């Protein structure tokens, strides 16, 4: 057992308050195949700028809103389900069968926030919920309210129950993850004890279960959950279980690409099927690799990553292009092998914009997966994808005021499209039937601080930029304290003040984003003559003194991005990107009756940055010029002779994440030119 765990135990024995447990969302200090280690949940505090503003929105608006929502009997019924299952009153289960898991996600957001704010009210609210969960949990550790309500009250009936079973492991997965985060944030073991019961139940269940029964677990959040339980408790049974869960996948004859179990994981080299389930699976397998070092798992993850990033991911980092599709698609002569898939990765380069599904949860899954890959390898390419996804297709999932949400994240909204899709293009406070994304974005935005830095024995990795204080300890107990000041992503100036650092030689690894050409670096005002390579970490190894100052500058120039021409939907079109942010146009910024689809960018115009305010949030817009097509009559026309009737007008672009905050309208990320 490591020193820090002993320290935690001692402090817990004395009922002491745990201030720093050098453990993060992924507690990989002891993971033998993880190159980097997480900093503690409480180690990084946003102090100013972009992420501080977002964290304030989280604590003031999003968390209270979500906590209340999940206690609202008439809207979500989630907390009520627990009360009924716990025997407080008779009643029926109501809501989707993944409601328990969504409540645990909000809980996880509370715990992660508490780690930073130490708000006593959050602690008290969490304890209240845990006391109820203790009543709900069955003796054998099982917890899933639809089943427990049926067992206690018989108000649902076995048929209804059968439908509900699918998400029980998903719910338990989120419980285990939330309990680990709660333990690390508070030092308390009350929720962790419930999670141990769950993990023990799952261990026994999978020991005895047939592959068919074991397969009945969609959306595998429990892979991440069970490995995290192993990391927290060091109970080897949980690692054995995680391995079994991967082994058992794809061993039945009725698996589907929709659930990534048509073939065993070790035969999978491309991304397929439901993108949330896929990304959760990949994140869970990465967790398992960090503990076991099985090379085949890493080889396959890297192959799948190449498939996603080079062929199937949107320019916003979003995943899952299809609402509904089939797999394999168009390649088999035998139609009987073709299966239905939904909200899924499509074929390579199949990336439609208006009909893009891109569930916020899939994009969050992309961050969960890339975070684990970064920790395993220390390769900056994974941090690049994390940053891209966080700033664009995750933040787009939440309104600027933090209380309205998107389930899907399309890259184009065109009013004249003559069909309606399942999920609309208006943000909602509660997404009926499927409110999985809002709690997920709630916990994710409470936890961005934990992604900002990583540690090795004699170094610190700077993964994300933004004003914050880092106060952490290395495995050997030495303190590292840095103060970062930056207005990133609005400008690329970053200063890092060394407050406390080991006396011997020590490395500071600075991430140079892949887009950051022409970056400059100085230490204490003196230019550092080192090659600065975009898409890599730059190592500064030296004896540091307290008061040393690192100065970095990433020129933030708007860049025009094109897609591989194999992406049919974006042929001869471009995206405007500035730093990590993808920009878009909304119809509210165009003359009336002009469609976003009539706009062609004037490439000679240049871009004029202007700070604007939308819903009290500061946003850097880009002013430029465009040509608009004056021949807009497409009635009963699919094709027509080309006529160049173009008018030159000024236009304004805004960051993609901030779209749909000024009413409904059209939007486009891609432009012709």
Mark 60-79 with x for binding to Zn ion (rule: CB under 5 A) and - for no binding.
Answer: --------------------
Residue 431 sits in the site that holds Zn ion (CB under 5 A): no
The two tokens of residue 9 are 């135990």
Name which of 327, 308, 288 is nearest 366 in CA terms. 308
* Minimum separation from the CB atom of position 305 to Zn ion (A): 22
The two tokens of residue 33 are 């195949």
Residues 6+ apart with CB under 8 A from 199: 141, 176, 226, 229, 233, 235, 237, 238, 241
For Zn ion, the closer of residues 286 and 437 by Cβ is 437
For Zn ion, the closer of residues 24 and 320 by Cβ is 320
Mark 501-540 with x for binding to Zn ion (rule: CB under 5 A) and - for no binding.
Answer: ----------------------------------------
For Zn ion, the closer of residues 359 and 447 by Cβ is 359
For Zn ion, the closer of residues 437 and 601 by Cβ is 437
* Minimum separation from the CB atom of position 170 to Zn ion (A): 11
* Minimum separation from the CB atom of position 431 to Zn ion (A): 8
Q: Which of 7-15, 240-248, 360-368, 412-420 is the region at the interface with Zn ion (rule: CB under 5 A)?
A: 360-368
For Zn ion, the closer of residues 411 and 626 by Cβ is 411
d(CA 425, CA 413): 8
Name which of 596, 606, 520, 595 is nearest 560 in CA terms. 606
* Minimum separation from the CB atom of position 51 to Zn ion (A): 22
Following CA atoms 270, 273, 275, 278 in sequence, which dihedral angle do they give, to the nearest 10 degrees?
-60
Q: Which of 38-46, 119-127, 248-256, 352-360 is the region at the interface with Zn ion (rule: CB under 5 A)?
A: 352-360
Count CB neighbours of 335 within 10 A: 7
Question: How is residue 103 annotated by DSSP?
Answer: H
Tell the residue number behind the tokens 């993964």, with chain if given.
Answer: 463
Q: Which of 151-159, 353-361, 553-561, 591-599 is the region at the interface with Zn ion (rule: CB under 5 A)?
A: 353-361
Long-range contacts, 518-524 (Cβ 8 Å, 24+): 518/555, 519/492, 519/552, 519/553, 519/554, 519/555, 520/552, 520/553, 521/550, 521/551, 521/552, 521/553, 522/550, 522/551, 523/548, 523/549, 523/550, 523/551, 524/548, 524/549
β-strands 506-512, 459-462 pairing = parallel
* Minimum separation from the CB atom of position 318 to Zn ion (A): 12
For Zn ion, the closer of residues 361 and 464 by Cβ is 361
For Zn ion, the closer of residues 150 and 359 by Cβ is 359
d(CA 237, CA 219): 22
Q: Which of 184-192, 235-243, 429-437, 566-574 is the region at the interface with Zn ion (rule: CB under 5 A)?
A: 429-437
Residue 344 sits in the site that holds Zn ion (CB under 5 A): no
Name which of 510, 509, 508, 482 is nearest 497 in CA terms. 482
For Zn ion, the closer of residues 359 and 569 by Cβ is 359
* Minimum separation from the CB atom of position 100 to Zn ion (A): 15
Residue 653 sits in the site that holds Zn ion (CB under 5 A): no
* Minimum separation from the CB atom of position 465 to Zn ion (A): 28
Q: How many residues sit close enough to Zn ion to count as binding (CB under 5 A)?
A: 4
d(CA 355, CA 393): 15
* Minimum separation from the CB atom of position 571 to Zn ion (A): 31
For Zn ion, the closer of residues 360 and 467 by Cβ is 360
d(CA 125, CA 294): 41
d(CA 88, CA 80): 9
Contacts with Zn ion in 439-498 (CB under 5 A)? none
Residue 361 sits in the site that holds Zn ion (CB under 5 A): yes
* Minimum separation from the CB atom of position 219 to Zn ion (A): 9
Q: Which of 116, 437, 575, 654 is in the footprint of Zn ion by CB under 5 A?
A: 437
For Zn ion, the closer of residues 280 and 544 by Cβ is 280
For Zn ion, the closer of residues 241 and 437 by Cβ is 437
User: By CB neighbour count within 10 A (0-12 exposed, 13-18 middle, 19+ buried), where does 556 fall?
Assistant: buried
Dihedral of CA 382/385/391/397: which sign?
negative
For Zn ion, the closer of residues 395 and 498 by Cβ is 395
Q: Which of 436, 446, 563, 626 is in the footprint of Zn ion by CB under 5 A?
A: 436
* Minimum separation from the CB atom of position 641 to Zn ion (A): 45
Which residue number is nearest to Zn ion in terms of Cβ? 361
Name which of 651, 575, 668, 574 is nearest 610 in CA terms. 651
User: What distance lies between CA 236 and its chain's CA centroid?
Assistant: 28
Residues 6+ apart with CB under 8 A from 101: 167, 170, 171, 173, 174, 175, 221, 436
Name which of 232, 259, 118 is nearest 178 in CA terms. 232
* Minimum separation from the CB atom of position 358 to Zn ion (A): 11
For Zn ion, the closer of residues 105 and 182 by Cβ is 105
Q: What is the length of the chain?
A: 673
Residues forming contacts to Zn ion in the complex (CB under 5 A) are: 359, 361, 436-437
């Amino acid at each position: 057992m490591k020193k820090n765990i002993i320290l935690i135990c001692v402090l817990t024995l004395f009922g002491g308050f745990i201030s720093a447990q050098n453990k993060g969302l992924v507690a990989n200090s002891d993971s033998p195949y993880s190159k980097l280690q997480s900093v503690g949940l409480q180690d990084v505090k946003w102090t100013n700028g972009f992420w501080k503003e977002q964290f304030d929105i989280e604590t003031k608006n999003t968390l209270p809103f979500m906590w209340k929502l999940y206690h609202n009997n008439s809207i979500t019924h989630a907390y009520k389900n627990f009360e009924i299952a716990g025997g407080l009153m008779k009643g029926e289960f109501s809501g989707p069968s993944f409601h328990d898991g969504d409540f645990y996600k909000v809980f996880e957001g509370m715990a992660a926030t508490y780690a930073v704010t130490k708000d006593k009210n959050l602690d008290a609210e969490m304890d209240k919920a845990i006391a109820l969960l203790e009543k709900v949990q069955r003796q054998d550790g099982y917890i899933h309210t639809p089943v427990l309500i049926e067992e206690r009250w018989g108000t649902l009936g076995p048929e209804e129950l059968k439908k509900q079973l699918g998400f029980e492991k998903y719910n338990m997965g989120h419980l285990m993850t939330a309990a680990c985060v709660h333990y690390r944030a508070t030092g308390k073991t009350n929720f962790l004890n419930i999670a141990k019961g769950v993990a023990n139940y799952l261990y026994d269940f999978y020991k005895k279960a047939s592959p068919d029964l074991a397969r009945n677990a969609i959306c595998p959040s429990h892979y991440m959950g069970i490995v995290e339980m192993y990391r927290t408790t060091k109970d080897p049974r949980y690692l054995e279980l995680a391995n079994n869960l991967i082994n058992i996948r794809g061993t039945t004859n009725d698996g589907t690409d929709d659930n990534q179990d048509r073939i065993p994981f070790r035969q999978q080299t491309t991304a397929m099927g439901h993108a949330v389930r896929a990304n959760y699976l990949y994140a869970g397998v990465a967790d398992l690799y960090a503990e076991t070092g099985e090379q085949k798992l890493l080889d396959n993850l890297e192959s799948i990553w190449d498939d996603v990033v080079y062929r199937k991911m949107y320019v916003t980092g979003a995943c899952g292009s299809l609402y509904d599709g089939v797999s394999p698609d168009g390649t088999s002569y035998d139609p009987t092998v073709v299966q239905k898939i939904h909200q899924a990765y499509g074929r390579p380069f199949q990336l439609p914009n208006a009909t893009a599904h891109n569930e916020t949860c899939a994009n969050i899954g992309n961050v969960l997966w890339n975070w684990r890959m970064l920790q395993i390898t220390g390769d900056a390419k994974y941090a690049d994808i994390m940053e891209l996804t966080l700033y664009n297709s995750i933040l787009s999932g939440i309104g600027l005021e933090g209380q309205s949400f998107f389930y899907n994240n399309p890259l184009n909204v065109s009013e004249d499209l003559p069909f309606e899709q399942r999920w609309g293009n208006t943000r909602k406070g509660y997404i009926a039937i499927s409110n999985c994304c809002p709690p997920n974005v709630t916990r994710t935005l409470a936890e961005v601080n934990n992604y900002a830095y990583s540690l090795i024995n004699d170094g610190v990795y700077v993964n994300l930029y933004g004003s914050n204080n880092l106060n952490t300890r290395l495995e050997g107990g030495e303190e590292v304290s840095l103060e970062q000041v930056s207005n990133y992503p609005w400008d690329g100036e970053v200063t890092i003040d060394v407050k406390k650092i080991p006396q011997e030689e020590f490395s500071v690894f600075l991430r140079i984003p892949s887009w950051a050409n022409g970056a400059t670096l100085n230490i204490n005002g003196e230019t550092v003559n080192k090659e600065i390579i975009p898409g890599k970490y730059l190592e500064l190894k030296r004896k540091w003194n307290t008061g040393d100052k690192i100065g970095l500058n990433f020129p933030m120039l708007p860049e025009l991005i094109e897609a591989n021409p194999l992406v049919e939907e974006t042929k001869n079109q471009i995206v405007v990107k500035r730093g990590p942010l993808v920009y878009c146009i909304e119809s509210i910024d165009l003359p009336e009756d002009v469609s976003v689809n009539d706009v062609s960018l004037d490439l000679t115009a240049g871009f004029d940055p202007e700070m604007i305010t939308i819903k009290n949030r500061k946003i850097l817009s880009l002013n430029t010029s465009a040509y608009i097509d004056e021949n807009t009559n497409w009635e009963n026309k699919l094709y027509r002779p080309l006529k160049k009737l173009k008018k030159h007008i000024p236009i304004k672009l805004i960051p993609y994440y901030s779209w749909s905050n000024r009413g409904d309208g059209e939007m486009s990320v891609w432009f012709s030119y």
